[in-house]
A and B are shown apart, each in its own frame.
Chain A
Amino acid sequence: MTGRARELSVGIDVGGTNTDAVVLDGDDTVLAWTKQPTTADVTGGVRAALRSVLGDLGGRRAEVSRVMLGTTHATNAIVRRRDLGRIAVVRLGAPASGHYPPLVGWPDELRATVLAGSLLAGGGHLVDGYPISPLDPDGIRRFLDGLAGRFDAVAVCGIFGPSFPDQELEVAALVHERAGVDVPVSLSHEIGPLGLLERENATVLNAALHRVARDVTGALVTVVAEEGLDAAPFFAQNDGTLMTLDHAARYPVLTIGSGPANSIRGAARLSGADDAIVVDVGGTTSDLGVLNGGFPRESTLPREIGGVRTNFRMPDVLSLGVGGGTVVDTGRGALLTDSVGHRITTEALLFGGPTATLTDAAALAGPGPVTGRTLPPLDGADGAALRAALEEAHDRIGSAVERMSLGRVGLPLVVVGGGGFLVPDRVPGAGAVVRPDRGDVANAVGAAIALAGGRADRMCEVADRAAAIDAVSRQAVDRAVHAGADPRLVEVVDVLETPVSYSARPTLRVSVKAAGPLARTERRDT
């Protein structure tokens, strides 16, 4: 050890097209950055990106103490139905919920890939904790024995499991006793909040992603080792916080929304804003998110992943089909839903191609978005069409900003991404339009600055509100620490209380999020 603080962090974001990496110092200054093509095996792109930024660091590479990876690997595995495990699903709560078989509503082919068998077993609770029916260990043993050798992992989901998790833990022990301690078991109360089908879906996906998680965590460890870095690896999760490798291996489904979360947090850090609207303009879409007190605002609606409805926390992102590559219909002067995407450098007018795009419209309107390139001569009608299309793009971005603001005026609008020139300098309803340096690698910056976090929720009567918030907060803090947060610095960052309508006794749903900086001691996962 040189005695110098080892305070450098590497953030890597694996996107569909590019793998970005940055190195930040202890003050979050960007010391190095790169964009590399994403490779089919992921590892290749990550290796190239890490190698590139470490090369730029020179002698300071020994100061790197942590590497954070945000990846779409789990999402891709689900969408492409690849490398997914076969899952035995146990739902606790019979006879309740029998009208809804597990994996109902899944695309047939994905269900066939993932489902080894399912059991609706006794157990589960009413909203107030009263048992629906007794747990039936023998029935669960028979079910597991009947499927022996035909499943890779088990998913367990109890009715009101997030409020009363004991039975799910009991079933996990039972599975380990019956099928061996190495069988991965995913428990719903660790995966998502109330909402049985969506939480069960997420739990099953999580169990099915076990091998994918092992591969991608293995890839990160390999690449870090290849570079001889003495750095702790972490994964970014979808609420803008990090988790340890061990945690990522157990909860891979929670990495699924990390891309937008990283982009929002990174844009905020680069611009210095804690509360802002963030727009990431790419070639095909513009993705808008909101930063609330340093974290991405989360969506309260279920989200679909590969055709499956899930309810775990995801950033509230509004995606518009407006990007630098969006094709302009020169006949009507309007935007089409098509984009030339990464073919823009051969397709767009600005690059001598045949297709009018929004990049061309921006080039016509002002100082060229691409230095050293000028448009070919246009006739009057084409010029008017491009101008009308740009106006439409401005309108759509303006409407989306307004929609995301929920009526709050004057929030700064932070613009990142390669197509940022499509955002005008004044947007109605927003405050200052901020275009931070290095906004093109905001995703990787977001990964590098992420905190470790945890979350918990449960229902309670209003009279027990304070005690419930305490208990749920402790659980959230424990989870944050388990995810890698420094126990001395972890704090509750969000308490959400939602009244439950149509209930005779006043009932609340309490949801707490805790987060904190990573523990400095380099914990090695067991």
Chain B
Amino acid sequence: MGTTAAADPRRITRADVAPLAAGAAVFGTGGGGAVHTVQLAVESAVAEHGPVRLLDVDELGPDDLVITMSAIGAPSVGIEMLGASAQAPTLLAEVQRLLDRPVTAIMAAEIGGSNGVAPVGWAASSGLAVLDADGMGRAFPKGTMISMNVAGLPSGFAVNADVVGNVAVFRTVDMAWLERHARAFTVAAGGIALGAHYPLTAETAKGAVIEGTVGRAIAVGRRLLGSADPVADVAAELGAAVLASGKVIDIERITEGGFTRGSVTVEGVGPDRGRLLRIEIQNENLVVIEDGAVTVSVPDLVTVVDSETGHAISTELLRFGQRVSVLAWACDPLWRTARGIELTGPRAFGYDLDYVPFDGARAAGALR
């Protein structure tokens, strides 16, 4: 627990990395990739290069240029083929060449899971700041599901770099085509690549990104790691409702088109005895159904945490008999716009359901 961090909250120190990772796992809503390995790289990069400045969107000046970055590819390949030190600098050099001006900060494409942690390491090794914002406020499986796309901001280009130094620049007609071409590059690159797109400035970032999410993830993680009552504390920190605490009594999982689809059923214990919650999953937790009614749906956030430790449990690690608590909280207002719902509402994931806005505060009052 960094006293340094508390004294200077606008710097991410080595001591902040573990809380960031734990918080990013919570924001991963069951997906987003495991945070443990990336935490090691970020800790060693921050130890080597020093703390990373965390920049508010409001602090962006006229000379600032932010680039959105993420790792792309199969997690099962990612456990074997890890990132190269020069990968981020190579990618950033190409972005600067294309824009003909220096990049000053990196923004996470998604705060949920490993991609929410890694930018701190890339920033450290490149001597840049990290923007206290991201493009999702959580984890989503598709590149099109990003706040800048909701805001109608043009990406202009995307740059991908592989581990050996190959760089590809994409100028595609829309995000769907980018997805297709970038995926082809990723396959040629060995299943994993580093990507950058959506350059942002002080003028364009405001209203097009989900603000404050890096700091929020660190705060959630810090509260979690130091807590004697982690579930309640994490819920309080998130402004989330504890929908129910219980045990996993059923899991259905099939792998289909590169995604894990299925559902998990949680039976309430203690004060929640007699209740049954079903969570529909597709890499992430997407919809919660109780008594035949949808109580939470994507893009609102649902995270399943261990009832004892409060640590987030990703969908592939859910197992029969686990004691879990289901947390839910409201998404950023940007996702609740018509365009946001079109891109990320239940129908975007193939569920024939209307989006039901979840009111964390009201639900918390009613349910707890």
Q: Which residues of A contact B (CB under 8 A)?
A: 93-101, 104-105, 126-128, 130, 132-133, 159-160, 194-197, 301, 309, 399, 402-407, 498-505, 507, 509
Contacts and interface: CB of A to CB of B under 8 A. Distances in A.
Interface string B53-97: 000000000000000000001111101111111110000000000
A503 B323 contact: no
Contacts of A509: 76
Given A96-B83, A407-B251, 18 more contacts: A94-B84, A96-B82, A96-B164, A97-B81, A98-B84, A100-B41, A104-B41, A128-B190, A132-B163, A132-B190, A196-B82, A309-B36, A402-B247, A403-B322, A404-B321, A500-B76, A501-B74, A502-B258
Nearest to B37: A197
Interface centre among B189, B258, B260, B283 (most CB of A within 10 A): B258
Contacts of B84: 94-99
Contacts of B82: 96-97, 99-100, 196-197
24 contacts: A94-B84, A96-B164, A98-B84, A98-B85, A98-B86, A99-B41, A99-B121, A100-B83, A104-B41, A126-B81, A126-B190, A127-B77, A127-B190, A132-B163, A132-B164, A159-B80, A196-B80, A197-B40, A309-B36, A402-B321, A406-B320, A407-B320, A502-B75, A503-B187
B45 interface: yes
Interface centre among A100, A105, A128, A403 (most CB of B within 10 A): A100
Interface of B: 36-37, 40-41, 43-45, 73-77, 79-87, 121, 125, 163-165, 183-184, 186-187, 189-191, 247, 249-251, 255, 258-260, 283, 317, 319-323
A133 B165 CA distance: 11
Nearest to B44: A104
A401 to B, nearest CB: 9
Contacts of A404: 321
B81 A504 contact: no
Contacts of A96: 81-84, 163-164
Contacts of A499: 255
Contacts of A501: 74-76, 255, 258-260, 283
Contacts of B255: 499, 501
Contacts of A133: 164
A504 B183 contact: yes
B41 A160 contact: no
A503 B77 CA distance: 9
Nearest to A128: B190
Contacts, number: 131
A128 B192 CA distance: 12
Contacts of B317: 301
B74 A502 contact: yes
A498 B76 CA distance: 10
Contacts of A99: 41, 44-45, 82-85, 87, 121, 125
B74 A503 contact: yes
B83 A403 contact: no
What 8 A-B pairs are tightest by C-beta distance, nearest first? A403-B321, A126-B190, A96-B163, A98-B85, A97-B82, A502-B74, A407-B320, A95-B84
Contacts of A498: 76
Nearest to A106: B40
Nearest to B79: A195
Contact of B77 (A93, A407, A500): A500
A403 B81 contact: no
A196 B163 contact: no
Interface centre among A93, A97, A500, A502 (most CB of B within 10 A): A502
B28 to A, nearest CB: 15
A406 B250 CA distance: 9
B191 A405 contact: no
